[in-house]
Structure 1
Amino acid sequence: MSKNIVVLGSINYDITASAERLPAKGETVVGFSVDMFGGGKGANQAVQAAQMGVPTAMIGQVGNDMQGGAVLEALKSKGIDCDRIHVSDTNRTGCASIYVDPNGDNMLVYAPGANHKITKEMIDAGKDVIADAAVFITQTEINLDAAMYGLKLAKEAGAITILNPAPAISLPDEIFPLVDFITPNETESEAYTGILRSEMPIEEWKTKTAEWFFSRGVKNLCITMGEKGAFYANKDEALSLPAFSIKAVDTTAAGDSFHGGLAYGLANGYDMKTCLQIGSACGALSAMTLGAQNSIQPQERVLSFLKEQGVNI
């Protein structure tokens, strides 16, 4: 089995401002730092996969601007195959403005730019790496038609397909059978299903949510729940894993790091509990450092963190 990972996804230039608290509507809050980082859900996921030592290729688009050049170089520096990232002369690089408080909570405004103009031709240019992929990941931070087309090609190629449905948008029923793993967070899950955690005991909520996704053709559900851990289910089993106890500094890329770790585990054929533990460790370590890609830790640190937590891989 190939261990390659392919990510079709968003590539952003992040501007992160830190302050003692997040602003209210119409309010100006004095901050104590502003930093610029490479970001975007797809790019972050690719960085984590590559940092775990897996050959990782990215398909996407940036603008022919200063920000595009910066994020492209950042991805290359992490060892990611960027040969199938298109540089557009007509669309700006995606950009996110992020505000972070001392608890690691954040607010974010995202301008997708080139991320929402990915064409089938750009994805076709990546057919060679998709054909060799063990795991294929995409998100809804890019245009939906591109995500669906990529999932279709990956499914035909025999890759394990992961859809990170973030942000929550309206999804057509025909996308679900293309998805082996769907990975919303708690809020996104509620947005898709209409099943609210606040209206029932948590175990009932998990069961009903899983049934909703299974009835639409998804084989595996994984809900990331922040400090409450992660929930996984297929039609034969269900697992609830607690989160690792950490002091969060910035959760911006924590969910993306989880996905990179999950993909690494799946590509290496680990059992689901181990895959979830690896993903959770990646997310926890990312949350302990300010920023997106710069907060993502290498395999050696992830494995040592797991060992510190009593988990041996």
Structure 2
Amino acid sequence: MTDTMTRPKITVVGSANVDLTFRTPRLPVPGETFAGHSLHQGMGGKGANQAVVAARLGAEVAFVARVGNDGFATQAIDAYQTDGINTSFVQHSKDQPTGTAAILVDDDAENCIIVVAGANAELNADDVRSAKDVIAFSDVVICQLETPVEAALEAFKLARAANVLTMLTPAPAELVSDELLSLCDVCVPNKTEIAAITGCSVETQADCAAAAEQLRQRGVRQVALTMGGEGVLVLDRSGMSLIPASPVKAVDTTGAGDAFTGALAVSLAEGMSLADAATRAGIVAAISVTRVGTQTSFPSLDEINRWKQAENTA
């Protein structure tokens, strides 16, 4: 565990994308063409997003990923390095382009996303094993499922063998197996994902609590269920509690879940309880939705501290 004089060490195994974000008055229907407000190019992918958040919160971050041999790859790696992320384990695909996401965001901050995996689809267990030593000395290893499941399984096996905390964003949910859940210390689903994994209704808070408990019965040690404006339902050995969301005017919710997960990992690495870590991570996510873009919306540690001071004096 990280002491107070050491930066938290986070290894992220996952996807790296270029995000093309289109702002539109509303989301289109099939066959419709209409004018959008603007186009923004940025960096994304659940893995990269979580790595960037963790780095901006002061963690020492290593990223295990694959990109193409194209201009997008150069832009992505330059951006990661600007945030101080260790890119030694980012491999280049010879045949596939860098993953790309087309994101539509309407005036109500709702979004829909189309992702072309590209090089992400080639991330494999050997790539993960190349980072074995870094994983062993991490405080937390984070995985998602926008890359092949074998990469996540290998990362969690290596982490578990080294007694390193494992954290999973279970998206896409249909790829989540009991084997993976059994290696997961902290699962961070949203309502759609937990419903798909468990088959439970998520209409009420009691439904959500039952779904979270089912995850624990299937091997997950702790659950942080993100529920948008309703807050976060956390379940650990001390029981279950609801962490309310910070009230904000959302302009773009893209990447908010990744902002939460990256911040949660850093906070747990610093020794916080799950409830306290979720409270802090909720602030990070709240700040992110007040801005346009994905990684460009993620705050620094100084911004979070100023936000907390403003809340305390309000």
TM bin, normalised by shorter chain, reads: over 0.9
Partners of 2:17 and 2:45 within 8 A in 1: yes
Give the match for residue 5 of structure 2.
none
Partners of 2:16 and 2:66 within 8 A in 1: yes
Give the match for residue 297 of structure 1.
299
Give the match for residue 211 of structure 1.
213
Give the match for residue 70 of structure 1.
75
TM-score by length of 1: 0.95
Give the match for residue 288 of structure 1.
290
1:1-313 correspondence runs (5 A) = 1-2=1-2, 3-198=8-203, 202-310=204-312
* Secondary structure of 1:95's aligned partner: strand
CA distance in 2, matches of 1:207, 1:224: 12
CA distance in 2, matches of 1:85, 1:170: 23
CA distance in 1, matches of 2:252, 2:43: 15
Between Structure 1 and Structure 2, how many residues are aligned?
308
* Secondary structure of 1:133's aligned partner: coil
Q: CA deviation at 1:235?
A: 4.1
CA distance in 1, matches of 2:64, 2:282: 25
CA distance in 2, matches of 1:121, 1:170: 20
Partners of 1:13 and 1:96 within 8 A in 2: yes
Partners of 1:22 and 1:29 within 8 A in 2: no
| Amino acid corresponding to residue 56 of structure 2 in structure 1 | Q
The superposition leaves residues 232-285 of structure 1 with CA deviations (integer Å, 9 ceiling, x where unpaired) of: 002431110111111111111111000111011101001222201111011111
Q: CA deviation at 1:171?
A: 2.2
Query: Percent sequence identity over matched residues?
Result: 36
CA distance in 1, matches of 2:157, 2:174: 19
Q: CA deviation at 1:305?
A: 1.1
The superposition leaves residues 165-214 of structure 1 with CA deviations (integer Å, 9 ceiling, x where unpaired) of: 0122232211111000011101111111111123xxx2421331122111
Partners of 1:11 and 1:43 within 8 A in 2: yes
* Secondary structure of 1:259's aligned partner: helix
Partners of 1:140 and 1:169 within 8 A in 2: no
| Amino acid corresponding to residue 191 of structure 1 in structure 2 | A
CA distance in 1, matches of 2:282, 2:205: 20
